[in-house]
Structure 1
Amino acid sequence: ELELIQQKGFVSYFLINYDIVTFAQQRNFYHVGRGSGANSIVAYCLGITDVDPIELDLYFERFINLYRENPPDFDIDFSWTDRDEVTNYIFQKYNRGKVEHVALLGSYSTFQYNSVFRELGKVFGLPKSDIESLIHFANKEGYEPDQFGKLIIKYSQVLHDMPSHLTIHACGILISHKPIHYYTATDMPPKGFPLAHIDMHIAEDIGLHKFDILSQRGLGHIKSAIETIYQNQGVKVDIREVDKFKKDPKIKEMLRTGHTIGAFYVESPAMRMLLSKMKADEYLELVAASSIIRPGVARSGMMREYILRHVDEERRKMAHPVLADIMPETYGIMVYQEDVIKVAHYFAGLSLGEADVLRRGMSGKSRSKDEFQRIREKFFSNCKEMGREDKVAAEVWYQIESFAGYSFAKGHSASFAVESYQSMYLKAYFPLEFMVGVVNNFGGFYHTEFYIHELRMNGADIQAPHINESDYLTRITGKTVYLGLIHMKFLEKATVEKILAERRENGAFLGLADFVARVAISLEQLLILIRMTCFRFTGKTKQELLWEAHFILNKKKAIPATNELFRTGGLAFGNRQPEIPVLEAVDIRQEILDQIDILEFPLDSPFHLVKDQSIQGIKARDLESHLGKMVMILGYLVTVKYTRTVKGEVMNFGTLLDRDGNWIDTVHFPPVVKKYPFKGRAIYRIEGKVTEEFGFFSIEVNLLERMAYWNAAD
């Protein structure tokens, strides 16, 4: 590796990446080095990646080979909260005084069908309605455009795929030996860093190295969780003990059963289903799963075939002997991008350089269609010369074609698997602190509501925002979790900052009047706090507090805060106290509606809102005992996956929760989707047949009905 790195002139590229991750480690920033760079033992030794390429038998040639002209890529992920500081470090370190050597990589947005019609329509002064009509009808048979329409259609064909405007590449940073202006002009976008006027293809052609500095929230989850564990339990966690995590029985059990909510990359319904079906509990199985779940493998039917061969040794004998020999670890099925290279080289006799051109062409990275077509023809001619059956050669090509553009490099999958193990360790041994970390980073597959649900299912005492206990973000003490004030969508940030500053300065609030005396707040903002029961420590009901708030503020915009010589506990408005009549207690259903209005999700069970409480249905945990039978069950919608069948018809996969908070997985075939579509977030009555595949239970839905909710006016 070292010889090839030196021969290709990539020493500085490795050393700069090493410098970047070293800076991050000094700042206690977590990172993941992924992509094909994880195939390098040098990168592993330098700490750029956490993936051992010898353990996984990764091919360094996938990262750098003598035939590869373009420079290699390291994709380095940081937490979304740390990325800007890392970027700033790169600009500070590698710019020399006032001479700029660093710039953000540019990218060109090109004119596509709709945009070119709209821009040309504006040139000809056409109204919006005429432009949209032209877009809609231009390709329709028998449509006859007017004189302007004919010109727009004519010039649209000329402008199609031409550059429209310059944008910023998602993550690329250029570092040049000579000042950057030797190569390109720059400008200064609002981001605050110079932007190059060239894209990645031109940068490659002129020999500039691109450094990919990305961000993701999964690392934010880990970082926040570790900090929270230390604050709540005084325990310091070493998250780099990945070898230990791989063997941990608790983590193995969670993977086998799909209990992975909150864990990076393995928490989606599809991934939970795949892990459950595979009974995956080994590192290599998780690495394979993270690539199998990609659209290409699933679309070609190879995901199902992989599961079948994984659970049934007899099924593995169906693999083509050459493919089984090339890819024994994955039972003769192409799972990773490297498999394209291996199959093209060993099965079809292409050189490694030609095989890499094939891989890049399949993934849309090749700019030479003629070269790709030449290699495609050589693939089939070589197969014929080598005595491969035409049918088998065509089937192998179909597999390559259907998944190569969507597959991961094996090193990339392994990098994701390492982060998944780190998340799973925290979830297994510190579930409450970990889920608080997930909630506070506002990222993941699910809505915040369902991470709070997971907290509750793990024994947390979930408390609504509290004026004396809540911080800006969610916090945990022992097993008590106080939701952060940030979750109240109508509460202004300035109001939150005033509340927290006053509390830090002068201590807890004694009551509503004391609060209003100390914090300048409008009636509208105060009512939000009351409706969310933020003043429940006073012992007064919500209605009493609402009455008192109107009495104190009396439609004034805000009462300026006053500094009292003595704490009167709320007699700052004189001895006049409101006379509050006896009021009815708030219905739990009204509480839930207030929660949904202010938090956008309920803290109490949404099943209280169902108008007809006599409809119960079975429980999710009882599905196994009803296998093959028709059942009725109530489910609170979590998420819906929309996909298309081979015929192009829409079908759904639903994920819901039952009354006990357990997960329900449903399958909705096209006729059912047409007749009984989902109608937004709600509780649904589901009728269907319980099915099982590889030990994973779901319901094939025959009927889906949105349940009527209680209304205070009823």
Structure 2
Amino acid sequence: MSKIYKYPCGCSFQVETLDDITSINFDPTIEHMRLDCHRTWDLISEGNTKGCFQLESRLGRSMAKKLKPSSIEQLSALIAILRPGCLEAMRDGKSVSNHYIDRKNGEESVDYFHPALEPILRSTYGEMIYQEQAMEIAKVIAGFNLQEADLLRKAIGKKKPEEMAKVKEKFLSGAKKINTVTSDEAEQIFGWIEKSQRYSFNKSHSISYAVNAYLSAYTKAHFPKIFFASYLRFAKDKIDPQAEIKELTQNAIEMNIDVSIPDLRNLNQYFILKDNKIYFGLTDIKGVGDSVFNKILLLKDSVDFNNTNWLYILCNILLKINSTAAKALIQSGALAYTKKTRNSMLFEYDIISELTKKELEHIQTNMSSYSCVEQALNGVLATGKVNKNRKNIISTLLATAAYPPRSLEDSAEWLSDAEYASLGCSITCSKVDMYDISMTNATCKDFKNGIIKDNIIIAGELDYINITKTKSGKNKGAEMAFATLMDNTGSLDSVVFFPEKYREFRNILFQGNVLIVKGARSRSGDAFVVEKCYIPKT
């Protein structure tokens, strides 16, 4: 018998058991969603919109955080002002997008130019961001009928100056007849409409996009584990799958979702949600394609995948697939359940790979007698069935196994690099773990959660840097940087190096470097403004 699971926001759903909301009964349509769910609007307003339709880019997340929409109408406007034209259309040294945000947040006065325009532009704070607004203005000011207004919309949409010129003549003559505005005002209004053709968006499209954006945000807010497991599964269809997976896993970790390295025992091809953890699929490992997965799957009837004996897994599974895939499985951590270090597994894989087919068959036949590679090699030598040349080779392999030429421990840096190479991101640990970060007083997640301190000190790996130039002020034209730092708790994508600090620290601002940054919150509270930066000691 199904039960009702109710969230603090008031949304409720049927579930099979109250302790398992993965068995949720949810119909993801607008008819079955509350459009006033504060849990959803809070998620959007926090900029936590990775994976949400139309809002998942860095810009989309940043603008959502600035605008803080609380209705479909405002979300529609956000999607409209995210279009390139709106971002590039400048007025008084500021883009139309920023004018809208500042007006909505009460940081700029709202001006409608003429009282007749207020009913049309009130919902967008005096900014003309929709093509439909231009149509409505033409009807009110110039007496256009629906067909004529639609011709204006098409002229705007096609962005053809010659068509706009024809419509302008009709607009001005119509405005003269209606006489709501003066001739000069009509000229100015049409000039505004002309400029809007570079950036205005179709509202019907924008509203439908907003509904889909809300739906994806609603799902993320209420069922985050299911949301991430599903989205990660289809990340491989993105332009840059590894970058997508990296961002999604970081975001999931920030939301306290356990994302785990792949586990060969699961035999899952793609990302799955199991035991409240999201596991990488085997084909999500670089170097392990569908053909290799299918080959592994064929072994399940004859091989015990739950056997924790490393030698058993090595001989019965890894040596049955190509070396690239085998090493990728090891590097990714898919065999971590054998309790051997990944370095030692790679090392011993190379040793056993030197054996002939007959020598391997002997080991497989006598597997119960051997618990490690050295025992297996001694066993091959003890058969007395190897010629002198092979005996010398195996003796050399045995000596190498007994006295490795390098450390076979897994350092934090090595694990981070190995997982990055095989999975596209680091899950088990991060590069930060190998450094002395005892002087820090916050993590990336702490900062995003709103801790307030005079001197905030964070350690993180530099994951992204965008070098740009200031557009105003005494340092106009000077280089500055926006960066993203990453640690075990998530990522912080609002780290700012103003010109003076960028010049001072630019020599260490390279992707992959682990940095200690000291600074403070920006006035808006969203960004981390760097005052000091250095590479910590190991």
1:15-36 deviations in Å (ceiling 9; x for gaps): xxxxxxxxxxxxxxxxxxxxxx
Shift of residue 441, structure 1, vs aligned partner: 0.7
Residue 333 (str. 1) matches residue 130 (str. 2): no
Match for residue 210 of structure 2? 417
Which of 293, 296, 301 is the aligned partner of 1:496? 293
Q: Paired residue for 1:517?
A: 316
Gaps of 5+ in 1: 1-225
Q: Does 1:347 align with 2:145?
A: no
| Corresponding letter in the other structure for 2:521 | V
**Residue 353 of structure 2 corresponds to which residue in structure 1?**
553
Any conservation in 2 of the 1:523–1:558 contact (CA below 8 Å)? no
* 1:448 partner amino acid: I
Structure 2 residue runs of 5 or longer lacking an equivalent are: 1-14, 90-94, 382-397
The Cα shift of 1:475 comes to 1.3
Q: Does 1:593 align with 2:424?
A: no
Q: In the alignment, what sits opposite 1:536?
A: 336
From 225, 229, 241, the equivalent of 1:432 is 225
- Deviation string 1:371-420 (CA, Å, 9 cap, x unpaired) is 33222455456667747468765664564444434443222112112222
Asked if the contact 1:325–1:332 (Cα under 8 Å) also holds between the matched residues in 2, the reply is no
1:282 matched to which residue of 2? 71
Distance 1:342 1:611 in 2: 62
After superposition, the Cα gap between the structure-2 partners of 1:555 and 1:379, relative to the gap in structure 1 and judged at 3 Å, is farther
Q: What's the CA shift string for 1:61-114, capped at 9, x where partnerless? A: xxxxxxxxxxxxxxxxxxxxxxxxxxxxxxxxxxxxxxxxxxxxxxxxxxxxxx
Q: Is the 8 A contact 2:432 2:514 kept in 1?
A: no
- Residue number in structure 1 paired with 2:244: 447
Task: Tell me the residue number matched to 1:373.
Answer: 165
Q: Helix, strand or coil for the counterpart of 2:526?
A: strand
1:324-365 per-residue CA deviation (whole Å, 9 max, x = no partner) reads 122332233212221122223323555544443443333336
Counterpart of 1:370 in 2: which secondary structure?
helix
Q: Which residue of 280, 290, 312 corresponds with 1:483?
A: 280
1:311 aligns with 2:105: yes
Is the CA contact 1:459–1:479 (under 8 Å) kept in the aligned structure 2?
A: no
Change (3 A) 1:548 1:370: closer
Deviates more, 1:434-443 or 1:515-524: 515-524
**Matches of 1:681 and 1:544, distance apart in 2:** 25
2:297 is matched by which residue type in structure 1? L
The alignment partner of 1:239 has SS state of coil
Per the alignment, in what secondary structure is the counterpart of residue 252 of structure 1? helix
**AA matched with 2:206:** S
The answer to which of 428-437 and 294-303 deviates more is: 294-303
- AA of the residue aligned to 1:526: A
Please state how far the C-alpha of 1:433 moved relative to its aligned partner.
Answer: 1.6
Code of the residue aligned with 2:341 in structure 1: it is T
1:309 & 1:248 partners in 2: Cα distance?
24
State which of 608, 616, 627 in structure 1 corresponds to 2:440. Answer: 616
1:453-490 residue CA offsets vs partner (Å, 9 max, x unmatched): 23223333332222222422111212222211223213
Task: Return the match for 1:468 from 262, 265, 272.
Answer: 265
CA distance in 1, matches of 2:304, 2:491: 41
Equivalent residue for 2:526, pick from 685, 691, 697: 697
Deviation of 1:662 (Å): 5.3
Tell me: CA distance 1:419–1:683, structure 2 relative to 1, closer, same or farther (3 Å).
Answer: farther
- Range moving further from structure 2, 257-266 or 680-689: 680-689
Q: Identify the residue that residue 193 of structure 1 maps to in structure 2.
A: none
Q: Matched residues in 2 for 1:319 and 1:503: separation?
A: 73
Cα 1:273–1:569, aligned 2, differ >3 Å: closer, same or farther?
A: farther
Task: Give the Cα–Cα distance (whole angstroms) in 2 for the partners of residues 260 and 632 of structure 1.
Answer: 26
Look up the match of 1:89.
none
Change (3 A) 1:610 1:426: same
Aligned residues: percent identity? Answer: 22
Change (3 A) 1:531 1:354: same
> Does residue 602 in structure 1 map to residue 402 in structure 2?
no
How much has 1:664 moved relative to structure 2?
Answer: 4.2
Q: TM-score, normalised by structure 2?
A: 0.72
Name the amino acid aligned to 2:422.
I
Residue pair 2:460, 2:516 contacting (<8 A) in 1 also: yes
Q: 1:700 to 1:357 in 2, by over 3 A?
A: farther
Q: How does 1:1-12 map to 2 (within 5 A)?
A: none
Amino acid corresponding to residue 362 of structure 1 in structure 2: I
Residues 432-441 or 648-657, more deviating: 648-657
Q: Output aligned runs, 1:101-250, within 5 Å.
A: 233-242=22-31, 244-250=33-39
Question: 2 CA distance for matches of 1:505 and 1:317?
Answer: 76
Please say if residues 271 and 278 of structure 2, whose CA atoms lie closer than 8 Å, have aligned partners that are also in contact: yes
**Partner SS, residue 665 of structure 1:** strand
1:498 to partner: Cα distance: 1.0
Greater displacement, 409-418 / 325-334: 325-334
Pick 1 or 2: higher relative contact order, CA cutoff 8 A, min separation 6: 1
Residue 568 to residue 419, structure 1, CA distance change in 2 (3 Å):
farther
For 1:364, the aligned partner's letter is K
Map 1:545-584; keep pairs closer than 5 Å: 545-554=345-354, 575-576=379-380, 580-581=402-403
Distance in 2, Cα, partners of 1:645 & 1:363: 33
Relative to structure 1, the CA distance from residue 296 to residue 394 in structure 2 (aligned partners, 3 Å threshold; closer, same or farther) is: farther
Equivalent residue number for residue 216 of structure 1: none
Deviates more, 1:532-541 or 1:369-378: 369-378
Per the alignment, residue 41 of structure 2 pairs with 252
Cα distance in 1, alignment partners of residues 459 and 119 from structure 2: 49
CA RMSD of aligned residues (A): 4.5
